[in-house]
Structure formats: structure tokens, C-alpha cells
Amino acid sequence: MGRRVGLLERIARARLGGQVIRRLRRAGFTDARYERRGFRVRFTADGDDTPTILELAPLLAVRGRRRRGQVDRFVAGLVAAPELPRDWAEVRPLLRPVLRGGTPGSPLRRPVLPFLYEYVVVDQPETMTYVGPDQPAGWGVSAEQVFAAARANLSGAVLQGVASEPVVVRFVDDGDAYWTSHLLLEHWLERLAGQVGGVPVAFAPERGTLLVTADGSEHLRGLFAQAEEIYAGSARPITPMAYVYDERGCTVPYTVAPDHPLHQTVRRAERVLAVHEYSRQAAQPPDEPPAQPPDEPPAQPPDEPPAQPAEPAAPPDDRTDAPGRGASAAPQGKDAAGSGMGAATTGMDAAAQATNATAHQTDTAAHATDATAHGVAAAMAELRLVGSADEGWRTRAIWDRDEAVLLPEADEVQVGEDVRPWNELLPHLTVVTGCEPARWAATGWPQI
């Protein structure tokens, strides 16, 4: 699990972000902006339609004047060659697929799992640039060829040996392997059966973490709790859900019957992901740029100890500078499985604590974002996780005022003081085109 970041490191991060932003803008990248949660900078180079992403973690370890010099060299290299390769033969080996939730802008993507999409990036030594929807035509190929080439560039490596009993395997990403992206490869997860001691069940809570165990394993419940805790505390989360493979070898969500002991655990993970993605959508609509870092960090309060950890550290960079390079996969075996169960020893208590962070994220959605649907100014309603393991986990959309609203899909909707099932309200709603995740518009409370 990634460590959390204290006040002093948050100040260092903000200062570094400000340094890079200022140098980029002096170099002509006027739209450069800092993304605090991802600890990265995003800008669009001249002639490009899609943003370039600069991961700042590699620069943070350098101190003082050395950091300033490295930032200057870092930006100078971008100015010298900011554009993507124009030739398909040149760019093809640099393509990588990435599994993500929603991301600002409009890069090339396709849906692959609930709330998750497959994107393609051009992976260069210092930058990772999302491929735009119009770029395949410029290379003389189709979008499908771009996705296929990106997948083909993954190593597809698997572990050696056979487990005599169910174990937990943790794939350690050193920044070159794209392990979570391997879930996009057909039959890749299926081929891990011998190494985990049964039908593989995978978790990708953040970009640098891929956990796999066997279905029916005693470790599975604990991994749900561990995955949610990592997901809620990560600066670069992907999903708290579990995944298996179908008859075609494609990765699909892990599901169980209503009478299965893990039924409510699985429901909770599905709904935590929904709450997070709808909260992200409401907190930062596509047309609103993220906040910029301050030129100077806030001063530390005098005579007070550093603040308690409140912001997660970014996991290892997920870039690579050569095709075929892969990080080692570290099988945890019994010892590591026991370690993995550390978060599970508290069972769902640990997951409940992790949900506090998720609930905090939903609070930002309460500050509704203005939108326009069908000519009516509307606000994006908040989505909350409610219930318990005993009564069942549910999502609840909050429609507390009789006014126009954009509702997220939910199990139930709070209409004023009443709580109504989603299916009861659905005939009175209109789906809004262009919203991902999907939202439904209404001009006021229906008279039911």
C-alpha cells in the first residue's frame, strides 16, 4: 500500500509543480496545468490535439539547485522535441494500452469494463502522451490497429512454477511493466491459474499494484478489504473491484450469487467504484481545468507539529522507454499472502475505514457543478454509498431540492425526504447524451 504524504512533502510537491508550470509557460506551453492528486503536469504541445502528461515523481527525489537544473533540462528536452512521431513505423513500438477511469480531455478510448476504459499512450522517456481520436488517421491506420499495436507491445509475461495451494501474487511495477494493463490481454489472467493455485481473481486498485489470488481462497475476502483501502488512499486509483476471465479469455467483473458469502462484499466494491467515478465527474467536468498550484507553498503553522497524513503518495511511474521490458512479478506465497491478509485481519472494518476516504471524495460532489441539459440549467447530483454488510450495500442519488438535476444511476434516489427505487423514477427521466458515466435529466420532482 502506498504511504501517505505529510505537510512538508505536500509543500515540496506544490513547489515543484509550480516550478515546472512556470518553466513550461515561459517555453510557450500556455495551457500547462498541475494535477495535485496525480502529482503530474498536463499540457498540449503546438500542433497536437491531445495533452502530454509529465509525471513529477522522478524529479521529487532531487534536492536544491540540482532539482532546479534538472527541471530546466527536463523542460528543455520537451521544447526540443514536443511532438509525437509522425510515422507509424516509428510510433508503433512506443504505444502502450492503459486501463483508467475517466480522464480530462477527449483522448482515444473505448469502454472495456464498468466505469473503466482502454486508452493508448505514446510512451517516451520523459513523457506519456495520450493518443487523440484523430491521430490514427494521421498515421494512416485505423483506431483498431492502434489499440491492437499497443496491446502487442506488452510483454505478456507470466510467473513460472506451480502453487501447491492458493496463494496471493503481487505484481511489482517498477515503472516499466504496465502490469495492470495486462488485464486487457485475452487469456493473460487465465494463464496464471497454476501460479495462484486455482481460478485467478485479480485486483488493480491503483496503477502500480496488481494482486491476484484463487477463487474460493481464504485470502479473497481480505484482498477485497486491502484493495479498497489501497484504492481509497491512492493518488492514482483504478478500481476496488475484483476481476476474472470469461469463456473468451477476456477480463470481466467478478460476480457471485446472492446467497454467496461474498455477495455483499462484491456489491460494495462495485458501488465504491461508482461513487468515486461519479464524484470525479461532478467535481471536475470536462470544461473546467484543474486548479493551479501556488507559486509559493503555504507557510507551515508556527509552533505546531506537522499535519497528520492526509494525501497519498503516487505509486511508481508507469512509463517505459522500450518495448518488451517488464517488471518482475513477486509471488507472495504463504508469507506474502499472510502479509496481504494483514489488512484482512480486521475484515470489513478495514474496508469501512477506507470508505471514509471515499465518502470524503463524495463530499466534493455536494458542491454541484452547473450543467445544461435539454435547455435547463441543472446540477450534478451527489451519489452516496449507504447500507451495511447486514442490510446490503446500495448507492443513493441525492435530489434534495425540487429543481432541475442531472442524476447518476443509482440503486435508489432520495427525493426530498423520501427514498425511492431507481426503477420507479426512471420513466420520468431522460438520458443525457455525452455524459460519461451516464446521467439522467429531470426538470423537477416527478408527481408519482
* Low-confidence winner among 124-138, 265-279, 286-300, 433-447 (lowest mean pLDDT): 286-300
Q: Are residues 105 and 197 in the same domain?
A: no
**159 with 169: CB under 8 angstroms?**
yes
Q: Are residues 181 and 64 in the same domain?
A: no
Q: Are residues 224 and 346 in the same domain?
A: yes
| Three cell numbers written together for 421 | 427505487
Query: pLDDT band at residue 383, thresholds of 50, 70 and 90?
Result: very high
pLDDT at residue 355, as a whole number: 42
pLDDT at residue 48, as a whole number: 61
Instruction: Report the candidate in 244, 179, 245, 184 with the shortest Cα–Cα distance to residue 206.
Output: 179
pLDDT at residue 56, as a whole number: 82
Residue 438, Cβ density class (10 Å: 0-12 exposed, 13-18 middle, ≥19 buried): middle
Helix H or strand E segment including 206: strand 200-206
253 falls within a domain: yes
295 falls within a domain: no
More confident residue, 213 or 13: 213
CA distances in angstroms from 418 to 342, 433, 441, listed in the order given: 41, 28, 19
| Three cell numbers written together for 245 | 476471465
pLDDT at residue 339, as a whole number: 35
| Three cell numbers written together for 414 | 432520495
Q: Is the pLDDT assigned to residue 382 strictly greater than 70?
A: yes
Instruction: Report the candidate in 437, 241, 204 with the shortest Cα–Cα distance to residue 318.
Output: 204
**Mean pLDDT in residue range 328-343:** 37
Instruction: Report the candidate in 434, 388, 380 with the shortest Cα–Cα distance to residue 409.
Output: 380
pLDDT at residue 22, as a whole number: 84
Q: Is the pLDDT assigned to residue 82 strictly greater than 70?
A: no
**Mean pLDDT in residue range 422-441:** 95
CA distances in angstroms from 168 to 84, 192, 221, 287, listed in the order given: 39, 11, 12, 42
pLDDT at residue 320, as a whole number: 31
Classify residue 118 by its DSSP letter. Answer: E
Instruction: Report the candidate in 30, 22, 99, 108 with the shortest Cα–Cα distance to residue 289.
Output: 30
Q: Is the pLDDT assigned to residue 239 strictly greater than 70?
A: yes
Q: Are residues 321 and 349 in the same domain?
A: yes
pLDDT at residue 23, as a whole number: 82
Q: Is the pLDDT assigned to residue 19 strictly greater than 80?
A: yes
More confident residue, 402 or 339: 402
Q: Are residues 125 and 68 in the same domain?
A: yes
Distance CA 6, CA 401 (A): 39
Q: Are residues 345 and 375 in the same domain?
A: no
- Domain carrying residue 106: 4-152
Total domain count, the chain: 3
Query: pLDDT band at residue 78, thresholds of 50, 70 and 90?
Result: low
pLDDT at residue 76, as a whole number: 66
CA distances in angstroms from 196 to 160, 165, 212, 270, listed in the order given: 11, 8, 7, 24
**407 with 413: CB under 8 angstroms?**
yes
